[in-house]
Amino acid sequence: MSTTGTTGTTTGEPSGAAARTAGKTTGKTTGKTTGRTARRGTARGTGRGTTERRLARAGWLYASPALTLIAAVTLFPILFSVVLSFSEVRLSYGGFRIEGFTTDNYAALAHSSAWFESLVFTLGFTLVTVVLELALGTAAALVLERLGAARGWILAVLLLPWAMINVVAAQLWGYLYNGTYGVVTWAIEALGGGEPAILGRPVPAMAAMAVADIWKTTPFVAIIVLAGLMQIPRDVYEAAEIDGSGPWTTFWRVTLPQLRPILAIAVLFRTLQAFGVFDLPFVLTQGGPGTATQSLAILGYKTLFQNLSIGPGAAVATSTAALVMGCCLLFLRAFRAQVDEGGR
């Protein structure tokens, strides 16, 4: 097979070269290869006004089922929770009721060292895991992209951790880290590490948790990035090859910039998930030793469901959401050009 030329031959579609020269072909072009020329084409056709309005209407038509459903189902619970966080909540026979507006719930957070400790742990955990998962996930995607027949199988293997039920995955790691018979404990002992008590000390416990999280979610990043890699037009690489770039330079100069919209999603949603980390600390350490691994989600859970403090619990949840949202907006602002590319 040559490096240029016919692609998509298996599905009987016209070749990229043909598509490029002809400019327009039948409606069945896959267009993976049209690349730069097409990408840069900014012509939107003439007769702008009416077409634009017609297209916008079509847009709302396409988007409205999804948006309506989301609004109908999610708006009430979220706003309800926000309202609760500003309310004095009283339980009574037959359910709880809201009595009056208050900011006490947030004042309680501000005065609580537990909340700050949780925040610090959650931020640290998020930062470490997201950075490592992104790096490892991208590396894995690059490997997968270059694999031949084995790719599908490895993809399936990679998805197994990701597909595992969170609680069960956490229990599996709890089993591996078990203080008396866990295989990791045993391996460390065998290597002369003494009696490690991995989950019993703050720093090893955090590291152990990060490893478990990385194991479970790196595949997700890898798959997202792989989908992005698939989309990079061939000729971009060819141009780099002609320029005489080495693989490393090509990666930084060509691959990475092309991947940005996809990487942005990976960062965004991994951050969201890492910020909400619950099952791992809940199963592995219950937030211990002491409160070293008590994430914001655990704190919120304990406040809401163990203490039945509905107002403060809602405040923990709402403030967490506000913080993550803030991080995401900052991130989006910094990467605006990449995430919104073509979006306005």
Partner 1 sequence: MALSRRTLLASAGSIAMTAGLTTACGTNDLDDLLVEAERPPEGPVTVRWWAGKIPARDGGDMRPAIIRAFRRKNPTIRVEIVKGLSTTDGNRVALTTQIGGGSTTPDVYLGDTTWPAQFGANYLALPVDSLVPESFWDPYPQALMQASSLKGKVYAFPCYTDAAYLFYRKDLLAKHGIPVPRTWEELERGARRIQRAGDADYGFVWQGSVSESLTCVVTEFLADAGGSVLDRSGRVAVADEPAQRAVSYLRGLVDAGVTPSAVTTFAEQDAMDAFAGGRAVFLRNWAYAWGMSEADGASKVAGKVGVVPRPGFEGRPDSGYACLGGWSNFINPNSENLGAAVAFARFCAGEEAQMMLLREAGVLPAMDTVLDGPAAARTGDPTITTTRRLKLVARPVQTPYYPQVSKAVYTQVNSAIGGSEPVGGALRAARSDITAALEGKAL
Partner 2 sequence: MRNQTTRGWRRYINVVNIGALIIVVLTTAPLYWMATASFKGTGEISASPPTLLPGHPTTGNYADAFGGNSLGRYLFNSALVSVVSTVVVLALAFFAGYALARLPMRGRGPIMIALLMISVFPAIAVVTPLYLLERSAGMLNSYQGLIIPYIAFNLPFSIWILRNYLLGVPRALEEAATVDGAGPLRTVLSVILPLARPGLFTAGVFTFTATWAEFLMALTLNSEDSFRTVPVGMALFSSQYTVPYGTIFAGAMVATVPIAILVLVFRRSVISGMTSGAVKG
- 202, interface contact from partner 2, partner 1, none, CB < 5-8 Å by kind: partner 1
User: Residue 2 and residue 45: Cα distance in Å, rounded?
Assistant: 36
Given 3-state DSSP classes, what are the helix, strand and coil percentages for the chain, each rounded to the nearest 5? Answer: 70, 5, 25
User: Residue 273 and residue 169: Cα distance in Å, rounded?
Assistant: 16
User: Residue 302 and residue 297: Cα distance in Å, rounded?
Assistant: 9
Kindly tell me the burial class for residue 53, based on how many C-beta atoms sit within 10 Å of its own C-beta (0-12, 13-18, 19 or more).
Answer: exposed
Q: What is the bridge-based pairing of β-strands 95-101 and 87-92?
A: antiparallel
Largest alpha-carbon pair distance within the chain?
77
Q: Is 224 in the site for partner 2 (CB under 8 A)?
A: yes
Q: Is 220 in the site for partner 2 (CB under 8 A)?
A: yes
Q: Which of residues 205 and 264 has its CB atom nearest to partner 2 in the complex?
A: 264
253-282 mask for partner 2 (x: CB under 8 A)? Answer: --------xx-xx--xx--x--xx-x----
- From 5-13, 123-131, 218-226, 303-311, give the range in contact with partner 1 by CB under 8 A: 303-311
Question: In angstroms, what is the minimal distance from the CB of 18 to partner 1?
Answer: 45
156-195 mask for partner 2 (x: CB under 8 A)? Answer: xxxxxxxxxxxxx--xxxxxx-x-xxxx--x---x-----
- From 102-110, 119-127, 197-205, 230-238, give the range in contact with partner 2 by CB under 8 A: 230-238
Q: Is 6 in the site for partner 1 (CB under 8 A)?
A: no
Q: Which of residues 179 and 326 has its CB atom nearest to partner 1 in the complex?
A: 179
Q: Residues near 213 by Cβ (< 8 Å), separated by ≥ 6?
A: 125, 129, 133, 274, 277, 280
User: 311: which 2 tokens?
Assistant: 């107002």
Q: Is 237 in the site for partner 2 (CB under 8 A)?
A: yes
Q: Is 202 in the site for partner 1 (CB under 8 A)?
A: yes
- When binding is defined by CB under 8 A, the residue of 41, 55, 62, 80 that contacts partner 1 is 80
Of 175-194, which residues contact partner 1 (CB under 8 A)? 178-181, 185
